[in-house]
């Protein structure tokens, strides 16, 4: 979002996003957290590259979220990778215990997912939208994997834009 928020009324999606970020930062930590001195997160959005590591990222974390709430009613793992104010991705993997394997979500089984690229937010919203996460290694507090997604952009009204559904394509993602 490139405009200043000067009005008293904020969009419902913005309230949700701010509440999620607050909840994420207040989550209890688990001993299975990744070592925060190492880590790389890369992906392409419609061909444009986003790349970050612990040294260059605004925020890069993958942790177990133990306290179920309205955004993740079950135990889940939250991945937060922010390259800056305008670029980043946050998603959850709903699981009591993370395992090597594939986790697939579509608009009917929606975990929390928020993605921004060049200030444009996108999310799982319509049939055909999906997020596929493949965990290839999870041992000794380190996690590796890859992911792809097909998302719908959020319009200027704060809601997914049906006319542009499925046009945010994430490829070559890995962590």
User: How do residues 22-36 score in pLDDT, each as one tens digit?
Assistant: 444 444 344 344 444
Alpha carbon dihedral 90, 159, 172, 55, in 10-degree steps, equals -40
How confident is the model over 51-109, as pLDDT tens digits? Answer: 888 766 666 777 777 766 665 677 788 888 888 778 888 888 888 888 899 999 988 87
* Terminal-to-terminal C-alpha distance of the chain: 26
- What length does the chain have? 175
So what's the pLDDT on residue 128?
93
The pTM of the full predicted model, rounded to 2 decimals, is 0.72
Task: Report which DSSP code applies to 160.
Answer: B
Percent of the chain with pLDDT over 70: 70
d(CA 113, CA 157): 18
Residue in this structure with the two tokens 């945010």, named with its chain if needed: 168
So what's the pLDDT on residue 70?
62
Burial of 166 (0-12, 13-18, 19+ CB in 10 A): middle
In a 3-state reduction of DSSP, which class is residue 20? Answer: helix
So what's the pLDDT on residue 75?
79
- Check: CB of residue 143 under 8 Å from CB of residue 98: yes
So what's the pLDDT on residue 12?
45
How confident is the model over 136-159, as pLDDT tens digits? Answer: 998 887 789 999 999 999 998 889
In a 3-state reduction of DSSP, which class is residue 51? Answer: strand
Q: CA 171: distance to chain centroid? A: 14
Helices (H), ranges, the chain: 12-26
So what's the pLDDT on residue 141?
74
So what's the pLDDT on residue 167?
96
How confident is the model over 105-130, as pLDDT tens digits? Answer: 988 876 678 889 998 999 999 999 99
So what's the pLDDT on residue 95?
83
d(CA 11, CA 8): 10
Looking at per-residue pLDDT, the higher value among 155 and 38 belongs to 155
- Check: CB of residue 54 under 8 Å from CB of residue 38: yes
């Amino acid at each position: 979002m490139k405009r200043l928020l000067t009005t008293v009324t904020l969009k419902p999606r913005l309230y949700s996003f701010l509440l999620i970020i607050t909840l994420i930062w207040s989550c209890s930590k688990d001993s299975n957290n990744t070592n925060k001195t190492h880590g790389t997160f890369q992906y392409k959005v419609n061909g444009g590259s986003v790349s970050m590591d612990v040294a260059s990222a605004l925020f890069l974390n993958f942790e177990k979220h133990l306290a179920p709430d309205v955004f993740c009613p079950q135990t889940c793992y939250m991945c937060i990778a922010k390259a800056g104010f305008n670029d980043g991705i946050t998603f959850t993997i709903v699981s009591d215990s993370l395992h090597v394997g594939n986790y697939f979500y579509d608009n009917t089984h929606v975990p929390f997912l928020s993605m921004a690229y060049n200030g444009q937010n996108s999310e799982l919203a319509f049939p055909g939208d999906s997020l596929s996460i493949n965990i290839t290694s999870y041992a000794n507090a380190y996690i590796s994997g890859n992911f792809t997604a097909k998302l719908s952009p959020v319009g200027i009204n704060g809601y997914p834009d049906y006319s542009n559904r499925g046009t945010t394509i994430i490829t070559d993602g890995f962590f």
